Structure 1
Amino acid sequence: ILSAVDTFGFHLNALDLRQNSESFEAVLDELFAAAGVTAPDAGYASLDESAKRELLVAELTSARPLVFPWSQDFSADTERELGIFRAAAQAVELLGPGVVPHCIVSMTGTVSDILEPMVLLKEVGIISFNPAQQRLVGSVDIAPLFETIEDLKAGAEILQELWEVDLYRGYLRGREDVQEVVLGYSDSNKDGGYLSANWALYDAQLAIVKACDTHGIGLRFSHGRGGAVGRGGGPTYDAILAQPEGAVRGSVRITEQGEVISARYGTASTARRHLEAFVAGTLEASLLDTESLKEPERAYGIMRDIASLAGEKYAQLVRDDSGFIDYFTQSTPLHEIGDLNMGSRPTARKQTESIGDLRAIPWVLSWSQSRVNLPGWFGVGTGIMRWAGEDETRWQDLRKLYQAWPFFRSVLDNMAQVMGKASMNLAQIYSTLVDDPTVSQRVFNTILDEYELTKEVFFRITGHDSLMAGNERLERSVQRRYPYLLPLNAIQIELLRRYRAGEDTFLVSKTIQVTMNGLATGLRTSG
């Protein structure tokens, strides 16, 4: 019992605070206005970045609270956020500081995004300013979450600007001088496509590792991976070894969620085996040279060029094709997924007018249901083919990288696994659900052509003759499941057609949900 208490405390599981940076800004905009810190006609949200930083630093050193018992009533959103922070403070007081170890700032894009939740933590007493030492003290690590391609590219620069804020730098020293950084796999994939996102994540780590070394700051990455490859999924051991040198320094945090929990921790023996792989990967990546690249900068240059080309192909379809949103929303059960009793949030942040409005889980799940699995491969074939062309020397370079570089090998192997679970024949039938046949045919043909090209590229680099040649056990498992999945897809397509034609009966809607659950379970790609 004493060992258990020493290991877990009295709470068994720690809970992270996490919220979007826009929400933190909106809350402070309202609090500052109510406290008279900002003028009614020039709120906090309207300030430029420099003015925001100045105001936040001043507030963090002030002994005055922003919220008083007699304060005006706040909006429902602000009251909810304040309630969460107050609950966190009560948990820390009752159960100890280990119960809330991190505050994660989603969609971090500026230094002020990271300072904003610190003001709210100070408001509830989790962080406080020590006037004698002239520094902030607290028990929570503030972890920026870089999610979009642009934010990943700017991540190292944002952190270096943050460390130039003396108040934050002093707080970091009090937290053992270790900066926690969270990397977002889902939104980066949705933002830039499979290869572009994977490279942006790798390249961001290279830059952040270098920045931390330059400033003498410790580093721990937290990887916000989902279960599906389109959300960063794949074998954990391989994923850890595929990180750049210096990114794993004796510890690493990786999100385990969704169907991954039951698949990896459903039994004691499975959980033990997975944790052993986790520990082995962390030790090897920390102590050994796992890259084995003779000319790393040349390899990085190749990957930057290919990722850029792949991202362009992805953008041409997802952003530039005016019919893509209609194709996606009509050829997949996106809207019907919203009726499933799963997850904690709606499928979209607002009416779906662009992929930016969508949340990552329904984005991946919808494509897996229609057997396209687009987030796990689209753009790779074009990116590599445009870079290599018919230059056999370049193809040979790619073959060498596949053999020597865990990152490149992991990217291609995970992609092949996803493509092996796709079915373009079924995807074509789903495309008939689209109202406009011209849009349906154009978008589907674009997807089909890219699928065939990507298969050709994969075979040419790896020398394999099938998409799952490197994992025969998985291939056998998938082949055994396919006969059971085909009827589910056929039933789903017919019922989606009826449901959208107005046959909104309990039997139809419930059976659609059953087919979605069955396909997600069988394909193991719900995300």
Structure 2
Amino acid sequence: MSQPGETSPSTTLHSDLDLLAQLHAQVLSESGHDAGEQLDALVEACRREDESAVQAIVDELDAEAAATLTRAVTVHLHLANLADERSRARALRRGEDDDIESGGVAPALQELIDSNRLQGLRIHPVLTAHPTEARRRAVTAALSRIAQQLDRFDDPQNGAPEHAVARRRMLEDIDILQRTSTLRRTQPEPRDEVKTVLTVFDQTLFRAVPRLYRRVEAALPGADPGRTGPQVPAFVRFGTWVGGDRDGNPFVTSTVTRATMATQAEQALRQLHEHVDRVARTLTMDTVTTPPSPELMQALAVDAVAYPEQFAEIMKNSPGEPHRQKLLVVGARVEATRREHAGFAYAGPEEMLAELRLVQDSLVAAGDARSARGELQHLIWMVETFGFHLAELEVRQHSAVHEGVLTELIGMLPDVADPGAAAQDPAFLDELATKGWPIAVLPQSERATEALDTIRVLSWLQQRWGVGCCGRYIVSFTRNEADLLAVRALARLAVGDRPLRLDVVPLFETGADLQNAPSILRAWAQRASTQSQWAQSGRAVEVMVGYSDSAKDVGPASATLTLDHAERELVAWAEQAEVELTLFHGRGGSLGRGGGPLHRAIMAQPSGSVDGRFKVTEQGEVIFARYGDAAIAQRHLERLTSAVLLADEPKRSKARDDAAARYADLARIVDQQSRGCYRALVEQPGFADLIALVSPLDEIGDLRLGSRPSRRAGVETGRSLDDLRAIPWVFSWAQTRVNLPGWYGLGSGLAAVGDIELLRRAYREWPLFASLIDVAEMSLAKSDRRLAERFLELGGRPDLSVQILTEYDLSLAHVLDVLGQQELLERKPHLSQAIGLRRPYIDALSHLQLKALRVLRLPADPLRNGPVDREAWRRTLLLTVNGAAAGLQNTG
């Protein structure tokens, strides 16, 4: 880094990066140590791929110096991410886009020429608390302050004095960032995760969602946005698992779930009150220019009697302005709802919507369509989208927990010889769910009490905030119909005949469970309790498919093809059962957990599996990457919308189905060969130990990324692949620069086909195969063979190292061959640039991590000189993990 000089306002990604790098260099120089010079030397050596120079620098570092240097590299990566995000947001605001393939809602609607497709449209992102976000809130806050000052520095309206102030404040915050520990000292609690995730609603989503609807409205034929009637329904809904997902997390309790919804409702109502108040103060039209409708006048007369004190104050402040008066009444009632003032509060969002539409209709009748369809329409969309609960709180629990609880409770019933068998007897469980339990039983264990209390709190929350606030209950690792019937059997005991909307959602995760899913659902559909649930939901059924464990189970290529086959079977089942199926995609941010370009993934879905409805998990750093900026959030939602609109367009659907049939034999070969190759590796004795030795797997829990433990309950060593969670599995492979979960086995699968022209045609014609190759290309691009080889050496298993690297070479060669490229990402310049900007810094962190691992894993390392402070090196290792996660971005 050069010393900073006079810098003009930045306007591009590179000028932003140059400015931030200069300011960072100044901070390091002023700190009095030589981290800046070391950073320059190490990064330059990594850029030249000069291994001897890199080793000379790293070998001289003790734990303290390595930690300081790691902090400097990490801060630079955070600043690079900030510059990149600003560049993307700036381009979007100018109407530019770096993803031409994804199109937008305007081209999608022009192609469809059918606004009726909007009526059944539903986009449903679900924010989860899976522990993949390594960045502390303190770091996020500092970066946010730097971004604000960078905007100030960029503003052409500001002169030299303002630029100087912005520059000084950026230096201050970069200094704070450099001195702030990136490691959490305490484990986050679920309430901390709730606060963190909900910031995106305050900061971006309340702005981004109405803008999305406006963009769709503007794309409709003959549209006059803000004047003609709203033809666009509020088609986005948000869900959340934060505070509701108790699978493997003992810290999420019924008390936490209740408190979570209280926090969400507080935030939703506060936002709605602010927006109502703002809109109300603009509706200053009087009775002469804009006469109110008789219905509005009648409603105001009722308000005067129902809320005399509040209404008198409103009349005093807004005489002769009936539309404003009514909106001020609405605002006062929203505030009363937030403060839980009985008699003045709304019973639910539907009551508020009715009053807003009353004002809107009155304005239209008076000839003021612009006021009716302007900001007031934004407010209506907000209420329809967020309600009083912000996002639907979903509950998830492991099927084994339900089985254990039922075994305990059924054991208290008379005349049950084998409670364990009864807890897995579908007919018996269905009878408990429909006819009730023969006697009331009281749980004896804390686990059983908590299971029943969870369902009771769902019933209470629905009574308080409406049935839309919660009600979906996801059963992890669904193995059979009994796993689904168990929830309704427990619900009958928990709440009896009291009102409760409970939609049981099966989650099929492993390769075997995905294959068995249709038969499980067919059996489940025959049960009386299931038919009762479907009758309550209008025969709308949700089924969740998991990407993480299926990929860990059979490898990425086979998992992709297995999921595709399973989804086709599920669509056929839904048609036969005459239900409206919504597939819920449990995708992670990482490439080994279903990550990658979401637009292309949607377009590759089997015909009929989308049908205007798409639900997907968003988690970890992906939440803030996609929703941290309003422009980026709007564009992400627009991409989802366009893809969902087009996914089942008849011509595309037919072409996709024809291609799937045409390349069925190719798919079978790739599936069988890639699965066999993958299983041949992971079933090797000692393979689970290898990943623990060559990566920071065992230390990841100490990063305190989330409230959920990194290992499943009862697992002590973490050496069993079956018990290791998919998130730390993928996270660890990303740290080693191997990225094995994103590509392993694909090379063998492609090689077995033996016809490169056939593979190239499949890439051009079959969206699913193209998506598979593109994800592998991205994963390989974020890998590094030289560094991967050095990490693998730490495992002391040259046989496994050779096996992995041989498959890497095969996968790389065949992916490039299919793409017809010499280098990875040749046709994706924006992605290539993003990775290239960060690579030397991530490589530097990898070299530092390698040294820390050598100290901790190899006690007899010949390169070691004298005694070492293991705890200091352990902390350095954690710092490198945190920094690499910031640079790689989609690690979990």
TM-score after normalising by structure 2: 0.54
In structure 2, what is the equivalent of residue 398 of structure 1? 759
Give SS of 1:357's match: coil
Distance 1:66 1:11, change over 3 A: farther
Aligned-partner Cα distance in 2 for 1:194–1:337: 23
Gaps of 5+ in 2: 1-275, 277-351, 353-379, 860-866
Distance 1:272 1:54 in 2: 48
- Give 2:673's aligned amino acid: L
1:246-277 CA distance string (max 9 Å, x none): 00011110100011011011110000000000
Native 8 Å contact 1:209 1:219 kept in 2: yes
Give the corresponding residue for 1:17. 395
Give distance in 1, aligned partners of 2:539 and 2:422.
30
Shift of 1:504: 6.2
Deviation at 1:324, TM superposition (A): 1.3
In structure 2, the residue matched to 1:8 is 386
Sequence identity, in percent?
Answer: 35
> In 2, distance between residues paired with 1:162 and 1:254?
24
- Work out the CA distance in 2 between the residues paired with 1:471 and 1:247: 28
* Residue deviations 1:186-240 (CA, integer Å, cap 9, x gap): 0000000000101111100011101111222211000000000100011121111
Cα distance in 2 between the residues matched to 1:256 and 1:521: 17
Is the partner of 1:17 in helix, strand or coil? strand
The CA distance in 2 between the partners of 1:120 and 1:249, in whole Å, is 33
Q: Residues 294-443 of structure 1: matches in 2 within 5 Å?
A: 294-319=658-683, 321-349=684-712, 350=715, 351-386=717-752, 388-389=753-754, 394-434=755-795, 437=796, 439=797, 441-443=798-800
Q: Conserved in 2, the CA contact under 8 Å of 1:89 and 1:124?
A: no
**What is the SS of the residue equivalent to 2:411?**
helix
Q: Distance in 1 between matches of 2:641 and 2:551?
A: 27
Partner deviation per Cα, 1:376-417 (whole Å, 9 max, x = no partner):
00000001212x23xxxx332221110011111011011110
> Are residue 77 (structure 1) and residue 450 (structure 2) matched?
no
Deviation per residue, 1:296-343 (Å, 9 max, x gap) = 323233212211110000000001x11312211101110011111113
Q: 1:467 to 1:37 in 2, by over 3 A?
A: farther
CA deviation profile, 1:343-371 (whole Å, cap 9, x unmatched): 33333221334311100110000000000
Higher relative CO (CA 8 A, sep ≥ 6), structure 1 or 2? 2
Q: Does 1:486 align with 2:861?
A: no
Matched with 1:46 is 421
8 Å contact 1:290–1:406 — kept in the other structure? no
- d(CA) in 2 for partners of 1:258, 1:443: 31
Other structure's SS at 2:652 match: coil
- Superposed counterparts of 1:426-505, under 5 Å: 426-434=787-795, 437=796, 439=797, 441-500=798-857, 501=859
Question: Secondary structure, in 3 states, of the residue corresponding to 1:430?
Answer: helix
| Residue in structure 2 matched with residue 107 of structure 1 by the alignment | 477
* Structure 1 residue 151 displacement after superposition: 0.7
Unmatched 5+ stretches in structure 1: 130-136
> Is the 1:31–1:66 Cα contact (8 Å) retained in structure 2?
no
Query: Residue 286 of structure 1: CA displacement?
Result: 3.3
* Count of residues paired in the alignment: 501
Please give the TM-score of this superposition, normalised by the length of structure 1. 0.90
In the alignment, the residues of structure 1 paired with residue 651 and residue 543 of structure 2 have an alpha-carbon distance, to the nearest angstrom, of 22
1:57 aligns with 2:419: no
SS at match of 1:356: coil
Deviation at 1:168, TM superposition (A): 1.3
For the residues of structure 2 that align with 1:473 and 1:170, how far apart are their CA atoms?
Answer: 51
Which residue matches 2:562? 200
Question: What is aligned with 1:228?
Answer: 590
Alignment partner of 1:520: what SS?
helix
Deviation at 1:140, TM superposition (A): 2.3
Does structure 2 conserve the Cα–Cα contact (< 8 Å) formed by 1:32 and 1:66? no
Residue pair 1:53, 1:111 contacting (<8 A) in 2 also: yes
Please state if 1:522 is matched with 2:887.
yes
Q: Are residues 72 and 233 of structure 1, via their aligned partners in 2, closer, same or farther at CA, if it must alter by over 3 Å?
A: closer
State the AA in 1 paired with 2:667. M
Identify which of 91, 98, 102 aligns with 2:461.
Answer: 91
Contact 1:107–1:147, Cα closer than 8 Å, also in 2: yes
User: For the residues of structure 2 that align with 1:447 and 1:66, how far apart are their CA atoms?
Assistant: 58
| Rounded Cα–Cα distance in structure 2 between residues aligned with 1:32 and 1:283 | 48
- CA gap 1:285/1:518 in 2 versus in 1, 3 angstroms: same
Deviation at 1:433, TM superposition (A): 2.1
Distance, in Å, in 1 between the alignment partners of 2:721 and 2:434 is 41
Q: Distance in 2 between matches of 1:252 and 1:182?
A: 11
- Residue in 2 aligned with 1:212? 574
Provide the residue aligned with 1:134 in structure 2: none
Question: How many angstroms apart in 1 are the aligned matches of 2:843 and 2:771?
Answer: 29
CA drift of 1:470 comes to 2.5
SS in 2 for 1:61: helix
Give the whole-Å Cα distance in 1 for the aligned partners of 2:579 and 2:487.
Answer: 22
Q: Pick which of 9-18 and 508-517 moved more.
A: 508-517
Structure possessing the higher radius of gyration over alpha carbons: 2
Q: Is the 8 A contact 2:403 2:423 kept in 1?
A: no
Determine if contact 2:587/2:594 at 8 Å carries over to the other structure. yes
Query: Do structure 1's residue 121 and structure 2's residue 491 form an aligned pair?
Result: yes
Local SS of the residue matching 1:494 = helix
